Structure 1
Amino acid sequence: MPQDNSPEQETDGALESVPSTDRKPQHIAAAVLYAALVLLALWVMRDFIPAVAWAGVIAIALWPLLTRLEARSGSHKRTTLVAIALTAAVGLLIVLPFVLVFAQAVSEMHDFIAWLREAEATGIPVPDFVAHLPFGSAQVASWWQDNLALPLHGSPAMKALHGDAVVTIGRRFGTLAAHGLVVFSFTLVTLFVMFQAGPRLSCNLLKGTRRAFGSHGALLAVRMAAAVRSTVSGLVVVGLGEGAFLGIAYLVSGVPHAAVLGLLTAIAAMLPFCAPLVFCGAALWLFAQGAAAGAIGVAVFGFIVVFIAEHFVRPLLIGGSTRLPFLLVLFGILGGAQTFGFLGLFIGPALMTVLTVLWSEWVR
């Protein structure tokens, strides 16, 4: 019987008949074509790369939990339910703080509008704490009298905030908010797809990495994933811990809305050395209300908590599993944030891990 030769078989036979010296230009041309197609695909999806990167960071952080849950599920339907549940939990944990802050802001909006109308008509009197400042009190009081103590509609400081500037600021804020919402939506969709793929995705990624870069490349990818996971643990866990301790301090010292302010402190504490912006603001509010002891207590306690968390707990969580020195952890977090924004907080330590592994291989 005649054999049915498919186009693939004919192509393979044609390649086998080509001398090895002639295949080298073909391999080079194929590599160039593949690289060009990959770069073209990345350029097409360039606006969605941040969403994919965020989904990858979250998936790496939750991958041990996913594998544990999938081992108990067993069926494809249950795997999909696990992916839906984890994605919904991530979305809720991200959205809930913003919802709480927004709800609190709306509840306070009526009082704020009334205060703003009164200030516009009569001005804002100089606070009592200005006279007790250790230095610069006369200059601050003079500036306040010239710009804020007068009715705000005629104040020189308020004239700079004309209608066009307010509209421009509002438009930019709306654009950033819409962009963030789009990125967040695509992040959740991508995260669900990654969770649904499960261990097959990680297995294929490791197989592709090993095929492209060898066993050392696969080991490097595993170390980078461990660095991202430990960085998420260090930033999130330490941030929540700082927010909890300082929330208790707010409650004891009499700061209003201590729970919401503690949540804001936790979010700020996920960024290195940003928590003082929140608790120092609370301390200034207490000082303005005449509670000097409470203000000093919140400030001192806040700096102690931040010092312990930033210099001992966070480097131990981030550098412990990846064996990164404290200095490289610090460079990775701060340099990554400066280069890639908030996403760089997680990418930076992973890149420092690559540097450490390559150095260890070089000097071995």
Structure 2
Amino acid sequence: MPSHPSVEPPQEDTKRKAQRVAWTALNVALIVLAAWVLREFIAPMVWAGVITIALWPLLLKLASPRHRQGGATALALGVTIAVGFFVALPFVLVFAQTALEAHDLMAWIKNTEANGIPLPHFVEQLPFGKQIADWWQANLARPFEQSPAMKQLHGDTVATVGRHFGALAVRGIVHFGFMLLTLFVLLQTGPRLADQSLKVVRRFFGVEGAQLARGMAEAVRGTVTGLVVVGLGEGLLIGISYALTGLPHAGAIGLLTAIAAMLPFCAPVVFCCAALWLFGHGSTVGAIAVLATGSIVVFIAEHFVRPILIGSTTRLPFLLVLFGILGGAETFGLVGLFIGPALMTVLVVLWRESTQQPL
């Protein structure tokens, strides 16, 4: 007679399901634990991933066809150094300019402490100018020792603010270093890591998941192109107006404008301050020229060039591009500028697939 198994098939099936559930729960728990351990480094890793995705087409053109290890390492190192130089250059220029003018800056600080800051003539012509002028005369136009507002900034407050700023600066430098290290590793192992990532996505989510991942990568790449390239263009054009109107340090302020223009609707803060400085120093025509040039450049760039550049790459409508950038920045910070459009791409892909399904 045939021997019967000691465990019935239904019991074996139940046991296997329980094992799969336990294995899945263990994987989820380990992933959550690993994410918690890496929580302080998630932002640098995401930034490195965004930069790698943005530079991927360039890397494919520069990489050797045989993709030898030595060549890949040299290429990754060169690109990492270039990215670090590009990011650090504005801060180095600002620090160098500050160091060159440290003597004049210290003299100005001592003079303002002893005599206060004179009220600019144009302040009274502004909306609520009378109220602003009264506050200025009571707090800023007199020696700081007699100023009620300055007395509130006692030594402990200044020391606390200084320590907080110093801690943020050190943290930013450390995160920047880890971002560059992660970027080098990603660039060095890029092709192999990309193939492995696509295999994992296909295994768990099928061909549709792989296509969705490619669409998200294209959205990130298009957003980086739109923000960086358009921002540099805005800074260059507005910087020319700075130079023509005689604004001091036009190159440095133009670079600051370009950095601000990489963030949506932030460039007006810089060129309005520049125009205000020109107006306060008697150059009314120059102030109007800077305001007019900046407004026209920003209007065209923000409403036409940038949405078209990002939308043509990601095939996103203008409204979703705008909502993705602004909503992503509000939710995730600066890195959300790139995550937001990627998530909007997911919504558009899911919507198009759902509308193509037969009822």
Does the pair score TM above 0.5?
A: yes
Determine which of 52, 62, 74 is the counterpart of 2:45: 52
Following TM superposition, by how much is the alpha carbon of 1:317 offset from its aligned partner in structure 2, in angstroms? 1.2
1:287 corresponds in structure 2 to: 279
1: distance between equivalents of 2:15 and 2:337?
A: 48
1:33 to 1:115, Cα distance in 2 relative to 1, 3 A: same
Alpha-carbon contact 1:239-1:268 (below 8 Å) kept? yes
1:12 corresponds in structure 2 to: none
1:36 corresponds in structure 2 to: 29
1:29 to 1:289, Cα distance in 2 relative to 1, 3 A: same
Following TM superposition, by how much is the alpha carbon of 1:144 offset from its aligned partner in structure 2, in angstroms? 1.7
TM (norm. structure 2) is 0.94
Matched, 1:99 2:80: no
2:320 corresponds in structure 1 to: 328
Following TM superposition, by how much is the alpha carbon of 1:105 offset from its aligned partner in structure 2, in angstroms? 1.4
1:302 corresponds in structure 2 to: 294
1: distance between equivalents of 2:147 and 2:67?
A: 69
2: distance between equivalents of 1:182 and 1:176?
A: 10
2: distance between equivalents of 1:305 and 1:172?
A: 37
2: distance between equivalents of 1:86 and 1:43?
A: 30
Following TM superposition, by how much is the alpha carbon of 1:130 offset from its aligned partner in structure 2, in angstroms? 2.5
Name the % identity: 61
1: distance between equivalents of 2:65 and 2:98?
A: 43
1: distance between equivalents of 2:281 and 2:189?
A: 56
2:309 corresponds in structure 1 to: 317
Following TM superposition, by how much is the alpha carbon of 1:73 offset from its aligned partner in structure 2, in angstroms? 6.3
Determine which of 147, 155, 159 is the counterpart of 2:151: 159
| CA offsets 1:11-44 (integer angstroms, 9 cap, x no match) | xxxxx9x944532221121111111111111111
Q: Which moved more, 1:224-233 or 1:172-181?
A: 172-181
Letter aligned with residue 174 of structure 1:
G
Letter aligned with residue 261 of structure 2:
A
Give the SS at the match of 2:316: coil
2:122 corresponds in structure 1 to: 129
1: distance between equivalents of 2:272 and 2:192?
A: 48
Alpha-carbon contact 1:230-1:317 (below 8 Å) kept? yes
Letter aligned with residue 249 of structure 1:
S
Matched, 1:148 2:140: yes
Following TM superposition, by how much is the alpha carbon of 1:300 offset from its aligned partner in structure 2, in angstroms? 1.0
Alpha-carbon contact 1:66-1:198 (below 8 Å) kept? no
1:235 corresponds in structure 2 to: 227
Equivalences for 1:102-251 in 2 at 5 Å?
A: 102-131=95-124, 133-251=125-243
Number of paired residues? 347
TM (norm. structure 1) is 0.93
2: distance between equivalents of 1:194 and 1:126?
A: 54
Alpha-carbon contact 1:60-1:225 (below 8 Å) kept? yes
2: distance between equivalents of 1:222 and 1:160?
A: 55
Give the SS at the match of 1:71: coil
2: distance between equivalents of 1:343 and 1:137?
A: 39
Give the SS at the match of 2:101: helix
Letter aligned with residue 147 of structure 2:
S
Give the SS at the match of 2:64: helix
* Aligned CA-pair RMSD: 1.4
1: distance between equivalents of 2:133 and 2:27?
A: 67
1: distance between equivalents of 2:335 and 2:126?
A: 40
2: distance between equivalents of 1:327 and 1:286?
A: 36
Moved over 6 A (4+): none
1: distance between equivalents of 2:267 and 2:148?
A: 33
1:134 to 1:45, Cα distance in 2 relative to 1, 3 A: closer
2: distance between equivalents of 1:189 and 1:137?
A: 51
Alpha-carbon contact 1:333-1:346 (below 8 Å) kept? yes
| CA offsets 1:94-127 (integer angstroms, 9 cap, x no match) | 0111100111112222112111111211222222
1: distance between equivalents of 2:93 and 2:130?
A: 40
| CA offsets 1:111-155 (integer angstroms, 9 cap, x no match) | 121111112112222222224x15433222222211111111211
